[in-house]
Amino acid sequence: MATISIQRHGGPVGLVMFIGLALLANACNGADEGRLTRIELPAGFDIGVFAPSVPGARSMTLGDEGTVFVGSRGAGNVYALQDRDGDGRSDAQVRLIEGAEKSPNGVAFVDGDLYVALIDRIVRLADIESRLDEPPQPEPVTELPDYGHHGWRYLAAGPQGALYVALGAPCNVCEEYGQLRRVDPATGEQTIIARGVRNSVGFDWHPESGQLWFTDNGRDLLGDNRPPDELNRLTTAGQHFGFPYCHGGDLPDPDYGNAGVCADYVPPIQKLGPHVAALGMRFYDGDAFPERYRGHIYIAEHGSWNRSERIGYRVMRVDPHAALAGEGDAYMPFASGWLLDNGDIWGRPVDVQVMPDGALLVSDDYRGAIYRINATP
């Protein structure tokens, strides 16, 4: 059945049916479903297409009424996706922001408002789910440092309705380290909560402890197998996680470190693969997955660009209890197959989002699509 796509192209518009786009979306659906047979999942799971045509799809967040909001980088768009008939596929799409020059990557939903993090600022679209047919103009919230290298921002809503934003280091390796900041959405006031972070593009809060866990991308040009990407845990505001002096908790930087420097910084809870580009992550708090998969962290690995043999291009699973205990089997594959055996790629996972029905969405900016992983009955 053809879907109906709803788009906004500058200025207030009503709901418009695009029959040609609907037919194209239906065709893309079929093509992507065929490719998805290559995805390897644990027994008892399946994967399908939630939205086939979301150019540059990156970070995601969920509204109170089930709307999936999606940011992008190069496309400069922010989308709202809805599954109105409840069949597990998006059947309505609104373009809230179009062609923005500053990479509206990060999205967060707080008290009915959508917040979008561009490179140089955070803006708010007020009362968004009741205004999708005529989206409001973005309102300024706060300004951010304006630079290109690692300049795209990850944004999330944390405890007590605060916003949290990641500022990547403006370099491969330098002493201008990245940070995580808390932002008051009412005043725009910013507080640094983590330092020594190279480039985090994903974080979430432990459902029991309330502590912030985040991914971090390791530096380049130290060879194929070092340093690892990291999964970190913030236990006290202001902690320093080592960049640029120490990588992975035990590897001194050849330019900025020394033999004993790593003891001064917080090591990762879990080392991830080298150069896998670990981006979005979520604790799975749904109840659709089997018990042994609940409470685990799901991480989208965008994939390497600077390794002689590619790695990543998958969704990994981390058991947080095993990671805290230092057990060796805490980090394991969940969904793989976007990287083919011959080294070619056909997709790049960016973010994951747990849905109200317990399904797990995965965004892919390479294909411009969003997939839906669910446990089979």
In tens, the pLDDT along 138-185 reads: 999 999 999 999 999 999 999 889 999 999 999 999 998 899 999 999
pLDDT band at 186 (very low <50, low <70, confident <90, very high): very high
What's the mean pLDDT in 351-355?
98
Is 358 strand, coil or helix? coil
In tens, the pLDDT along 97-116 reads: 999 999 999 999 999 999 99
- The pair phi, psi for residue 32, each rounded to 5°, is -70, -35
Residue 221 to residue 209: CA distance in whole angstroms: 36
Q: What is the reported pLDDT for 28? A: 40
Q: What is the reported pLDDT for 182? A: 98
Q: Which residues of 29-58 are buried (b: 16+ CB within 10 A; e: fewer)?
A: beebeeebeebebeeebebebbbbbbebbb
Which residue(s) pair with 272 in the sheet? none
The answer to whether residue 6 scores a pLDDT higher than 70 is: no
CA distances from 194 to 115, 118, 347 (A): 21, 20, 31
CB neighbours of residue 338 within 10 Å: 27
Mean pLDDT of the chain: 91
Q: How many CA atoms does the CB half-sphere of 119 hold within 13 Å?
A: 16
CB neighbours of residue 309 within 10 Å: 8
Is the Cα torsion angle 216, 220, 226, 227 positive or negative in sign?
Answer: negative
Domain ranges of the chain: 28-375
Q: Give the position of tokens 């799971």.
A: 45
In tens, the pLDDT along 323-332 reads: 999 998 999 9
Residue 250 to residue 252: CA distance in whole angstroms: 6
Q: What angle do CA 284, 288, 291 make, to 5 degrees?
A: 70
Residue 368 to residue 58: CA distance in whole angstroms: 9
Q: Give the position of tokens 């640094």.
A: 192
Amino acid identity of residue 227, one-letter, is P
The answer to whether residue 77 scores a pLDDT higher than 50 is: yes
In tens, the pLDDT along 225-284 reads: 999 999 999 999 999 999 999 999 999 999 999 999 999 999 999 999 999 999 999 999
Contact 122, 102 (CB under 8 A): no
Is the Cα torsion angle 342, 346, 351, 352 positive or negative in sign?
Answer: negative
CATH classification code of 28-375: 2.120.10.30
Q: What is the reported pLDDT for 328? A: 86
pLDDT band at 32 (very low <50, low <70, confident <90, very high): low
The answer to whether residue 375 scores a pLDDT higher than 90 is: yes
The answer to whether residue 15 scores a pLDDT higher than 60 is: no
In tens, the pLDDT along 273-301 reads: 999 999 999 999 999 999 999 999 999 99
